[in-house]
Chain A
Amino acid sequence: MQVSRWEPFGNMWKEMSRLQREMNRLFSSPVGSDGWPSLAGSFPALNIWQDEGTVYAEAELPGMELNDLEIFVTGGNQLTIKGERKAPKLDKGTWHRQERGFGSFARVVNLPVDVNAERVEARLANGVLTITMPKSEAAKPRKIVVKAE
């Protein structure tokens, strides 16, 4: 989870594999101009899964409204999530802790199959964005009837 720090306790092996995955994610990010992996390009973290007819994408975007987000599919299989997370407006006050991140972000992912861009739906509930993308007709699995003689 990108929005949270994690605490290693409990099942150590599970934590080790999580760490390994986080590291892989860090070093597989596009390399920025300064030679370091560009972390800015990898927000928000995404979970993507599919069933027979649909591809689903989920991201954690607490404190955002759908109006702050731009979601579109181009070229049949390229999903783009753009947005800006605004900092709370406070006239005056002393900051004791500042751990949450704010600002603009954009993320583009290539889906393994073509989806029907017209019928993509996005839902934001409790700070979790869920995008439902029906696969295009050509990409849906088709059952082939085997005729017996």
Chain B
Amino acid sequence: MAENSIVKTEKKADLTAPEFTRGTVTFTPRVDIIETAEELLLFADVPGVKSEDVDVRFENGELILHGRCNPRGHAANSLLNEYEVGDFYRVFALSESIDAEKIGAELKQGVLTVHLPKAAAVKPRKITVQGN
């Protein structure tokens, strides 16, 4: 796993108080991160979260993913109970090579996709070699 400087660290210590006052369970979503020449692509599984309940923020160099998932109530008459429903929360620290202004996110079928474009300075540039 290439842990280079673009995704610096994941801040576990930032899982702090205000998010958990709702009294629901909070899960860490599973995430894929792929780096291409232009951008970093982040996919997070957040099943049950609607687009109006997802909060993607970038502040102080940190990308904060927060999805609120309301309980789907059927506690009574349960026959099989293998998983629980709860909120999703995860924080990533990003290096300065990300162009924060152009971060974009979309949610489709419970998968959150975040586009993190690289700043122009770190994009690979092809230099034309002129022959004669």
Contacts and interface: CB of A to CB of B under 8 A. Distances in A.
Interface of A: 1-7, 9-10, 18, 21, 25, 45-51, 55-56, 58, 60-65, 88, 90, 92-101, 109, 111-112, 124, 126-128
A69 to B, nearest CB: 12
A108 B111 CA distance: 25
Given A94-B34, A96-B3, A96-B7, 4 more contacts: A6-B25, A62-B47, A96-B2, A97-B1
Contacts of A62: 45-47, 109-111
Contact of B15 (A2, A7, A95): A7
B32 to A, nearest CB: 5
Contacts, number: 148
Interface of B: 1-4, 6-7, 15, 20, 25-37, 40-41, 43, 45-50, 72, 74, 76-86, 88, 108-111
Contact of B80 (A47, A51, A64): A47
A127 B85 CA distance: 13
A2 B35 contact: no
Given A47-B82, A60-B47, A61-B47, A93 B109 contact: no
Contacts of A25: 82
Contacts of A98: 1, 32
Contacts of B30: 3-5, 99-101
Majority secondary structure of chain B interface residues (helix, strand, loop or mixed):
loop
Contact of B84 (A5, A18, A126): A18
Given A47-B82, A126-B110, A5 B47 contact: no
A99 B79 contact: no
Closest 9 CB pairs of A and B: A127-B110, A62-B110, A127-B47, A4-B27, A60-B47, A45-B82, A48-B80, A99-B30, A63-B111
6 contacts: A1-B27, A4-B28, A5-B28, A45-B83, A63-B108, A93-B35
Q: Which of B25, B74, B78, B108 counts the most A-chain CB atoms under 10 A from its CB?
A: B25
B86 to A, nearest CB: 7
A64 B109 contact: yes
B8 to A, nearest CB: 11
Contacts of A10: 20, 25
B35 A96 contact: yes
Contact of B33 (A1, A6, A45, A97): A97
